[in-house]
Amino acid sequence: MQETISKVPKSKSNLLTIFTLIKPILPIAGVFFFICLILVLNRYFSFYASFDQGIFNHVFWNNLHGRFFQSSLSSSLSTNVVHANEIPTVYYHRLGQHFTPALLLWLPIYALFPNAATLAVLLVTLITAGGLMLYVLARQYLEPPLAVMITASYFAANAVIGPTLSNFHDISQIPLFIFTLLLAMEKRWWWLFWLMAGLILMVREDAGVGLFGVGVYMVLSKRFPRAGLAVCTLSFGYMLLLTNLIMPLFSEDISKRFMLERFGQYADGDEATTLDIIWGIISNPVRLVVELVTPIDKTIRYLLGQWLPLAFIPAIAPASWSIAGFPLLKLLLGKGDSVLAITIRYALSVVPGLFYGAILWWSKHPKTFKPSFRRFWIFCICLSLFFSFTSNPNRTFYFVIPDSIKPWVYVSLPEQWHHVNQGIRPLLAQIPSDASVSTTTYLIPHLSNRRQILRLPMLELRNDAREIVKMDYAIADLWQLQKYAPAFKHDRGLLKELVNLIDRITNNQEYGIIGFNDGVILLQKGATSDQKAVENWLSFKSMFNK
C-alpha cells in the first residue's frame, strides 16, 4: 500500500491545535458521552450494575490499599472453588485469571473517587476518547466529511454502544490504545508506537491477538515489514510466555478453567495450555473449518452487525481483514453464547481493525462518497442505532423494554427507584463499612469497597489469617429475583435456593433477621432476630410459596 501524506497541519502539538483538529467531531462525541454516562450511572445507582462491576471495583479497592489484584469475588470464580469445592480466599490474585496490569494506569483517578461509580465514568470516558483518537487517525488520510462519517459510525456501532452500556471491563482500553498505536505508526513516532504496544499487551492476556493483527498488516502491506515482524514476534511470544509461565504462578485457572471453557473442544483431558489449544486447532483442519462457520446464522449476523455502521465497507477492505481478522478468529473459534454476542465487551476487540481498514479503503476510493452512498451510509448508521437500542444491552433500557412478553416481566423506572429508596438503601446503611458481607449480584458493586465480600449463597471464606470465617452480614434482594423469576430459570432457581438458605441459617440461629424492607432481607451473624422483620419475611415467603 502506498503511503498517503498527512493532511493534518504539522504545527507544534498543543491543546489549541488538538481542539481545532477534533472540533468537527466534538458534538457527536459529546452526545455519545453524556447519553451513555447518564445511562450507565442510572444503571449503577438503580442497582442494575452486576457482578463484573463489583469484581473490578474490588480489585481497584484492593490495589488502592496495597493488596494488588487480590479479590475474594474473583476467588469465588477460581478453579479451586468451582471445580475443587475449596473455600474462597481474600488473598487470591486475579492475575491468574486475567493478567491486567494496565488497570494500574487509572488507579490515581480511582484514588480521588474510590467508588464503583467512578469505574462507570471511566468506562464511558475511555471509549469516547477512543472515538476522538479514531477521528485524528482518520484525518491522516481523509477530508473532514469522511472522517466525521467514520467516527460517527464508531459512536453508532452496536459493538461500541453495547460494551459501553455495561459493567466496567478491561477491553474498554483497547480502542484508545490501538488507535493511538496506529496514529503513531502513521506519524512514525516509534517511541509512542512501542509504548502503546506495551500498554496493549498489559490490558489482558489475549490483547496481543489484536496487536498481532497490526503486525501482520505492517508486513503484508510492505509499509513497515521489519517493525511488523517485530510486533508479531513480540505479541505472540508474550502471550505464550504469559499464559504458560507467568499466569500459572498465581493460579491454575488459565489451564484448568478459562482455556477449557472457551476452547475445550480442541483439547483432551481436564486441563490445557495455550500450546495445547494451538496444536489442537492446527492438527485438525476439518474441525477448524467447522468451528469457523458454525453456527452459520449467528456467524453471519455477527459479521453483518460489525460491518453495518460502516456501510459494510470492512467486508471488502483488505486491511480490515488483516488486522481485525485475528481477534475475530479468536471469537469464531471459541465456544459459548457470549463469543458472538455483539453487545458484550469481546466485540470491542474487533472494532479497531475494522475501522482502520475502512479508513484506508476510503483513502483509495474517495469518489465513492457520493450523495447516494452517503444516504445509504446514514441509513446504516440509523439502523445500527436502532438495533443497539432494541437489543437492550445489559438491561440498560430495562425501564423501556420489557425483559419478557410472555410471561410479562417489566420494571418501570419509578418502581425500581422506589424499591431502591425504600428497600435497598436503608438496609445497606446498616452494614458497617469494614464488615464482611455476602450479597446478591446487583448489590455487589455497592458493597465491594471492603476486604471480605462474597456472592450469595456463599457465606464462608478464608481470611488474611488463613482462617475460615463466616460473613458478618448477608443481604439479599429477593424482590428483584421474584420479579424476574417467572421468565428466567436461573432467577427462579436462585430465589428458591436463597429462601431455603435463609430458613436454614435462621432456624439454627446462626444468623438473625435484623431487617426486611420491600423484599430485601438483612441478616447478621449471631444476632437476635427483629420480630417485625421476621413477620415481614414470613409474609413475603408465604406469597412466594403461593
Tens digit of each residue's pLDDT (9 = 90 or more) over 5-19: 445 444 444 567 777
The better pLDDT of the pair 295, 90 is held by 90
The string of pLDDT tens digits covering residues 515-529 is: 999 999 999 999 999
Transcribe 419-484 into DSSP letters.
Answer: HIIIIIHHHHTTS-TTS-EEE-GGGHHHH-SSS-EEETT--EEE-TTS-EEE-SEEEEEHHHHHHH
E strand or H helix at 99, and its extent?
none
The three cell numbers locating residue 178: 490501538
The mean pLDDT value for 76-101 works out to 94
pLDDT score recorded for residue 272: 83
| Sequence-separated (6 or more) residues with CB below 8 Å from residue 236 | 208, 212
Identify which of 498, 447, 442, 497 has the alpha carbon closest to the alpha carbon of residue 473.
447
Q: What pLDDT, on a 0 to 100 scale, did the predictor assign at position 194?
A: 97
* Percent of the chain residues past pLDDT 70, beyond the cut: 97
Q: Sorting pLDDT into bands at 50, 70 and 90, what band is 90? A: very high
List 409's β-bridge partners, or say none. 404
CA angle, 171 then 176 then 177, to 5°: 80
Share of the chain above pLDDT 90, in %: 82
**Any idea which residue has 442505532 for its cell?**
385
Pairing assessment for the beta strands 460-462 and 520-525 based on DSSP bridges:
unpaired
C-alpha cell at 534: 421476621
Q: From CA 69, how far away is CA 61, in angstroms rounded?
A: 9
| Phi, psi of 46, rounded to the nearest 5 degrees | -95, 15
Model confidence at 310: pLDDT above 50: yes
C-alpha to C-alpha distance for 538 and 543, rounded to whole angstroms: 9
Q: Could you give the angle at the alpha carbon of 140 between the alpha carbons of 139 and 146, nearest 5°?
A: 35
155 vs 278, more confident:
155
Q: 490: which residues sit within 8 A by CB, 6+ positions away?
A: none
Establish whether the linkage from the previous residue to 407 is cis, with ω within 30° of 0: yes
The pLDDT value recorded for residue 6 is 46
Q: What is the DSSP letter of 313?
A: G
| Residue 158 CB contacts under 8 Å (≥ 6 apart), including other chains | 305, 308, 309, 342, 343, 347, 384, 387, 388, 391
| 3-class SS letters over 134-155 | HHHHHCCCCCHHHHHHHHHHHH
Q: Is the model's pLDDT at 110 over the cut of 50?
A: yes
Q: 111: closest CA among 145, 76, 63?
A: 63
- Between 381 and 22, whose confidence is greater? 381
Residue with the three cell numbers 473532514: 144
Judged against a pLDDT cut of 90, whether residue 97 lies above it is answered with yes
Q: What are phi and psi of 314, to 5 degrees?
A: -55, -25
Judge whether residue 315 has pLDDT over 90: yes
Give the pLDDT score at 546. 58
> How many CB atoms within 10 Å of residue 345?
23
pLDDT of residue 11: 45
Q: End-to-end alpha-carbon separation of the chain, Å?
A: 70
Tens digit of each residue's pLDDT (9 = 90 or more) over 122-155: 999 999 999 999 999 999 999 999 999 999 999 9
Of 515, 513, 494, give the one whose Cα is nearest residue 504: 513
Look at residue 1 in the predicted model and tell me its pLDDT.
40
Average pLDDT over residues 254-281: 82
- pLDDT of 545 reads 63
* Residue range 460-465: mean pLDDT, rounded: 96
- For the packed helices 351-364 and 296-307, what is the interaxial angle rounded to 10 degrees? 60
What is the reported pLDDT for 170? 96
What the block records as the C-alpha cell of 197 is 504496544
Q: What pLDDT does residue 4 have? A: 43
Tell me the three cell numbers of residue 177: 490504545
Q: Which of 158, 104, 130, 122 is nearest to 44 (CA)?
A: 122
- The amino acid occupying position 196 is M
Chain center to CA of 90 = 23
pLDDT, greater one: 1 or 447: 447
Least confident of 21-25, 146-150, 430-434: 21-25
Residue 293 — very low, low, confident or very high, per pLDDT cuts 50/70/90? confident
